[in-house]
Amino acid sequence: MNKLFASLILLTMTLLSGCFSTSALIPEKKDSSFYLVDTKEGRLCNGNTGYCVRLSLVASQNGQLDSFEKAYQQKITGPNYPRSLMIILLKPADSSYRATNLDTNGRLYSLPKNDKTNTAWKALNDLYRTEYQ
């Protein structure tokens, strides 16, 4: 009984001190209005939702992502297929969109959602499902 009483006192003190807040109970709104490229981790993410796919998936296909290559009218080339894919995403040859640097060290870039980037996202997710599900 003493442990329960001590726990209740500790919880009450914590609540009164402001360590818990109602914002902790409300889920943070995740922005999925853009794609995020993490050049260090080699990932393409759906905004800041935490839902990401690794660009290294393309290596298992020897760099072939037909729908992606058709949309971008560019070939993913070796020997480093994931890097080639990342470069195409960040700077499409037709300059149809611009990647926006989000930090000072060149790690994070924002890509607009459009037909091309949506195709890239879908192609990588389809590849993931084929490989792992």
42-66 burial: b if 16+ Cβ within 10 Å, else e: bbbbbbbeeebbbbebbbeeebebe
Q: What ranges do the domains of the chain cover?
A: 34-132
Q: Is 0.95 surpassed by the pTM of this model?
A: no
Question: How large a percentage of the chain has pLDDT more than 70?
Answer: 78
State the pLDDT confidence band at 114, using cuts at 50, 70 and 90: very high
Residue 21 has pLDDT above 50, yes or no: no
pLDDT digit string, tens, across residues 58-106: 998 877 789 999 999 999 999 999 999 999 999 999 999 999 999 999 9
pLDDT of residue 4: 55
Residues in the chain: 133
The residues near 99 (Cβ < 8 Å, ≥ 6 apart) are: 37, 89, 90, 91, 109, 110, 111
